[in-house]
Structure 1
C-alpha cells in the first residue's frame, strides 16, 4: 500500500505504525479480555492530537484528507480493531456536526470533540431495525421548546464510553418525518446498558441505549426533520465505510505479517512451510488481495476528496471487497498458524473474530450486493440495437 501514498502520507503512515506498535499492540489482548480499551490509550491518542482526524484546523482538528484518515485506521487496526472502531464512530459524529450542525452546535461540541474532551457515538441501529432504517421505532415528540425521546438503540459501538450521541428516529407529529438529534450522556431519561460477550470488537464498549421520556432541547435537532435518512445518515456512513474498509485492510496486512514470518521460520517434513504448495497458494492469495484492496481503498478516498459523483459507490465497493477478503484470509491465517492461531491471546485469533463483524457493520455484505448488483446491471447492460 505504501507505494500508493505521497511522501507526506508515507511519513504519517510510518508515524502511525510506530505509535500502534508501541502503544496499542502490547495491550490489545488485555483489552479484549477486559472487554474495554484502556483510558490510558485514549489519553495517549489525545496527546498525539489524533482525535481531530478529518476536521479542519479552525476547529482544532488535524485537517487530514480521507487517505490519511484511512492509513491511520489501517495502522491502528493491525493492532486493535476495537480502538479503530472508536475513531470510526467519533469521526462519524464529528463529520455530522461539521456538515450539518449549526454554529451554536459546533461551538458547543466540535472543538471539544477534536481535543478529545468528549467522545461521540452514532446511534442508528435498533433491535428491529438495522440496515432497514425506515423500520426505526424511536420517536421524537415536540413539547414546546423541547422534544421528548422514547425508544431503544442497540449494538451501539462505544455507546458505553461516549459522551454525545447522534440519535435517529421519527417525529411523533403530523409530519412523521425522520429526524436526527444530538443527545448528551447525562440527559435525564437516558440509560446506557453495556453489551458483553460479543464475537468480535470485544473492547469497543458496545451498549444498548434506552430513552424513557428523555427531554432534549429542540436546538439539538440536526438540520431539519426529513433529512435524517436521505442526507445525514448516508453522509456519516460513507466515513464509516472508509474506516471499515481500512480496518479490513489492516487485518489482511496483519495476517500477512504474522503468517509470512511463521512460514519462513516453521519447518515440517524437513522443509519450511513456505516450500509447501498449499501454503504458497494461501500466501499468494493473501498478498494479491492486499494489493487489490489497497488500490480500491486509496482510489475510493481520492474519489471522495475530489467529490466524484460516484464516490459513495466506490467507497461501498472498497468496503465490500476488503471485508470479504479480510474474513477469508483471517480464516487462512489461523490455519497457517495452527494451534498458535487458535490461542485467544494471539492477533490472528482476534483477526478471525473481528473480520466476521466487518461483514455486518456499516451495511452488511448482502445489503451491498443488493445495491451494487442493481448498479452494475444498469451500467453494463447491453444496449440493444433497434
Structure 2
C-alpha cells in the first residue's frame, strides 16, 4: 500500500483491517462465490470487530470511524471478498440513514441491533424498470389512518434473501418517501435471484409488496425527502465504499499477479522477467495507487466537510471501478490458462470488477455527472 500521509493510528488500523481480511475473508471468498451466499459466522465476526455501522457513533454501537479509516476498512474488505464488502456497505447505508434521518425512537429501536449484527438490513430502491433513474420509482405508499399501505416491486436488492429490515423507497401522494419495513410484515415476499455474474455471495432478491401494511411511524425523515436526502446520502456512502472496494480488488489482482509471475517460468525464465508482463504489472501498480489516492482525497474532502465532497467521491468511484476492471482483466491475462479456471481467484475478481462499474451508479451515469461537474469547475 502506498499512502505515506496516513496518521500513525490510521496506519495501525489499516494493519488490523488487513489481518482481519487475511484471516476471515480471503480463505472463504471462493466458497461464498461458489455457494452464492455468505455465512452467519462471518457476519458475527464483523460485528465482533465493530465493523458493522462503523461510521455510527459509539453510543449507538458503532465504531465512530472517520471517513479515511472507514475507507481503509472498505479497501481491505474488498481485497478479501467483494460480497462481504457489499454486505457491510448495504448494512451501513441503512444504519446511516436511520442515524441521520430517523426519529429518536427509530434510532433506539434499530441502530444497536444493526451494529451488533442481530438485525440485517437491506436498501430497497431499485425496481424491475427503475435503475439509474431513481426518480421514476413506481412503488406506492398510501396513508390509511395510522398505517401506510405499500404496493409494488423491488428488484436486484442485495441481501434481500436474509435481511430482517428493509429501507424501502416509495411514492406517498406522489412524493418520494422512505420507510422501514420488517421482513415478517404480512404482504411482503422475497424471491431469490441467483446466477449473477459477480458479487455472487450478495444474495439478491426480488421483493413484492402486496397491500403490505406498516405503522405510519416507520416513515424515515419527512414525505418528499426520500430521494433528495435519504437515498442520496446513502448512495453517496455506497459509492464511497464501492470506490475503496475497487481499490482493494485491484490490489488483490496486483498481489496475485506479482506472486504468480515470480514463480511461473516460460522460455527459461520467470515470466516476471518478460517485458510485456512487466508492462502489465507496472500499469496495474500505477493505476491502483492512482485510485487509492483519489479515494483518500474523497475521504479528506468528506472529513473536512467540503462542498464538493460528493463530486470527489464520484471521481473516486468512477476511476477506481474502471481501474479495477482493467487490473482484473490483466491479472487473468498474466495467469493465462491458470487464470480462467474455477479455482483461480483472479477469474472471480474479473467477474466482480465488472459489477463495480454498474452498482451505485453506472460508469456512464458517473461520466455524465462528472462532465457537468467539469463544466462548473472550469467556470470557477
Q: Structure 1 segments of 4 or more deviating over 6 A? A: none
Shift of 1:52: 3.1
Q: Which residue of 2 aligns with 1:179?
A: 177
Write the distance in 2 (CA, Å) between the matches of 1:129 and 1:112. Answer: 30
For the residue of structure 2 that corresponds to 1:289, the secondary structure is helix
8 Å CA contact 2:254–2:284 kept in 1: the answer is: yes
Aligned to 1:96: 97
| Residue 157 of structure 1: aligned partner | 158
- Structure 1 position 306 matched with structure 2 position 304: yes
Of the three residues 331, 335, 338, the one matched with 2:336 is: 338
Deviations 1:142-197 (A, max 9, x none): 100100000000001111111111100111x3xx1111111111111000111100
Q: How does 1:212-291 map to 2 (within 5 A)?
A: 212-291=210-289
TM-score, length-scaled by structure 2:
0.98
TM-score (structure 1 length as normaliser): 0.96
Tell me, yes or no, if the aligned pair for 2:328 and 2:346 is still in contact at 8 Å.
yes
Q: Does structure 2 retain, via aligned residues, the 8 Å contact 1:167–1:181? A: yes
SS at match of 1:128: coil
CA distance in 2, matches of 1:2, 1:307: 21
Answer whether contact 1:334 1:348 (CA < 8 A) is retained.
Answer: yes
Partner residue of 2:88?
Answer: 87
User: Within 5 A, what are the aligned runs for 1:48-67?
Assistant: 48-67=49-68
1:261-281: CA deviation from partner (whole Å, max 9, x where unpaired): 111221111122122121111
Q: Distance in 2 between matches of 1:44 and 1:58?
A: 20
Q: Distance in 2 between matches of 1:38 and 1:196?
A: 16
Q: SS of 1:4's equivalent?
A: coil
Q: Secondary structure in 2 aligned to 1:55?
A: coil
| Deviations, residues 31-83 of structure 1 (Å, cap 9, x unaligned) | 11111011111111122222131100111210011111111111111121000
8 Å contact 2:126–2:156 — kept in the other structure?
Answer: yes
1:338-364 residue CA offsets vs partner (Å, 9 max, x unmatched):
122112222111110000000000010
Cα distance in 2 between the residues matched to 1:292 and 1:332: 17
Counterpart secondary structure, 2:201: coil
3-state SS in 2 of match to 1:153: strand
- Distance (whole Å) between structure 2 residues aligned to residue 225 and residue 345 of structure 1: 49
Aligned to 2:120: 119
Distance in structure 2 (CA, Å) of the matches to 1:26 and 1:336 = 22
Cα displacement (A) at 1:2: 4.2
Q: Give the SS at the match of 1:3.
A: coil
The alignment of Structure 1 onto Structure 2 pairs a total of residues equal to 379
1:132 aligns to 2:133 (yes or no): yes
Q: Secondary structure at the match of 2:196?
A: coil
Contact 1:89 1:120 in 2 (8 A): yes
2:122, 2:160 within 8 Å by CA — same for their partners in 1?
Answer: yes
Bigger mean CA offset, 272-281 vs 361-370: 272-281
SS in 2 for 1:50: coil
SS in 2 for 1:52: coil
Structure 1: gaps spanning 5 or more residues: none
CA contact (8 A) 2:53 2:91 kept: no
